[in-house]
Homo-oligomer: A and B are copies of this chain.
Amino acid sequence: MLDTLIKNALAIPMTDAGDVIDNCSIGVEGGKIVYIGHETPEAREVIDAGGRIVMPGLINAHAHTAMCIMRGYADDYPLKSWLYDKVFPVEARLDERAIVAGATLGMAEMLRTGTVSFSDMYFCQPAVAKAAEKIGMKANLCNAVIALGDGYVFENDRAVRETAELLSKYGASGSIRADVSIHAEYTSPPAVWRRVHEWAKEYGVITHIHLSETLSEHEEAKTRHGMSAARAFEANGIFDTPVLAAHGVWLEEDDMAVLANNGVSVAHCPVSNMKLGSGSADTAAMIRAGINVCLGTDGACSNNSLDLFEEIKLAALVAKAEALDPTALPAYEALKMATVNGARAQGRADETGRIEIGLDADLIMIDSNSPHLRPIYDPVAAVVYSAHGSDVCMTMVRGRVLYRDGEWLTLDIEKAVRDVEEYAVPIVLNR
């Protein structure tokens, strides 16, 4: 007997077939999808979708989840002032408890808006890993190495110690995974990049970086290295192992070829890039170049939401507006970014991102019976252009329902909010 059967679903499997399956049953056993069809095999738990849309859970490929403690703390500031006067001083004051509180609230928001797995770059990740494990979400976690100043000693860096801990505890497989991270080209020298890369080789993990987010950063790299950041990373062998590069707003054609040739994934973060005035990444050119483009929310301090549905719609809109062409980045391609492509960027292509037998049952249900989604001529268009994260009515990870109809089943939402507001916010405000 199956553990769970979702029946009567309008399924968007996101498989190569690109089809939609009406009146679909999805059977789950041991956390995996074991049945897809029109029958209704017996199961211990039956979830009647009532004709609602069921699709793979979303993957947030670039987040600083704990930053939701700073949601709305520093809006409409010039970028340098945002970073140096607002964000960095707060981050210097944060402790593990505040970060876990923020990460927990962020995970709650992600589950509520249909995200099942996220790639996160922040501090105190061993503690965040425990919280994610308890909640049941998937996560690729890293603490970015930043090596600025003459006094930098790799071995003494907190990020290095945390990375070593993550690598030894979680490694490259499982629901929680360690990534390694070079924060960005401009925050460490190539010698440090190569040390981080040693880990990537040894453990077979992904290297998560920021790349060409702002114009000044992109131009300054050329002065520093005599070549673009992408080329400098390549020249130092960093792209010999899988890399996930966030932003890529100012990548040139040449850089895109480098990324494509090396199988580097780019996490497009349209809301954050626009909100911080960084610009709009040219995803059409990236896709033409053969890059795997996925989506990220970035932190809630530059968004201020962790709702991937916003990124999906905006990715499609930005591509169309930039090309002055409404056929640019059609709905299905935008949705692939948040599912199939995100899974690939996380090293989870054979595990999640599609509804397919043998993959984990990482599924979401969208309340497509809501008036603002009706009528539905095309379920994919409904998801991309009309739905919001608030329309997600169920989020399942590895066959386990983590959110349903306003209830979080593996976390105490009131405590999560209280922990942030009573413990973390006073630290942010330095009170």
A residues sitting closer than 8 Å to B (CB atoms) are 69, 71-73, 75-79, 82, 105, 108-109, 112-113, 215, 271, 273-280, 300, 303-307, 310, 313-314, 316-318, 320-321, 323-328, 330-331, 371-378, 381-382, 385-386, 388-391, 413, 416-417, 420-421, 424-425
Known: A71-B386, A307-B372, A375-B425. 5 other contacts (CB 8 A): A72-B377, A79-B326, A274-B317, A274-B318, A303-B385
Given known contacts A105-B371, A108-B371, A277-B328, A73 and B323 CB-to-CB distance under 8 angstroms: no
A231 to chain B, nearest CB (A): 24
Given known contacts A321-B279, A374-B417, A304 and B381 CB-to-CB distance under 8 angstroms: yes
Q: Which of B77, B305, B373, B425 contacts A326 (CB 8 A)?
A: B77
Contact B317 A271 (CB under 8 A): yes
Given known contacts A82-B326, A304-B385, A372-B109, A320 and B377 CB-to-CB distance under 8 angstroms: no
Contact B371 A417 (CB under 8 A): yes
Chain A contact surface mostly? helix
Contact B321 A273 (CB under 8 A): yes
CB-CB nearest in chain B for A333: B76
Given known contacts A372-B305, A386-B305, A390-B390, A75 and B381 CB-to-CB distance under 8 angstroms: yes
Most buried by B among A215, A328, A385: A385
The complex places the Cα of A1 from the Cα of B98 at a distance, in Å, of 48
10 A-B contacts (beta carbon < 8 Å): A71-B377, A72-B377, A72-B381, A76-B331, A275-B316, A277-B320, A307-B388, A310-B313, A375-B420, A375-B424
The complex places the Cα of A105 from the Cα of B372 at a distance, in Å, of 8
Contact B72 A276 (CB under 8 A): no
A391 to chain B, nearest CB (A): 8
The complex places the Cα of A330 from the Cα of B78 at a distance, in Å, of 11
List the B side residues contacting A76 at CB < 8 Å.
Answer: 326-327, 330-331, 381
The complex places the Cα of A314 from the Cα of B275 at a distance, in Å, of 9
Contact B275 A385 (CB under 8 A): yes
A403 to chain B, nearest CB (A): 11
Most buried by B among A72, A73, A215, A331: A72
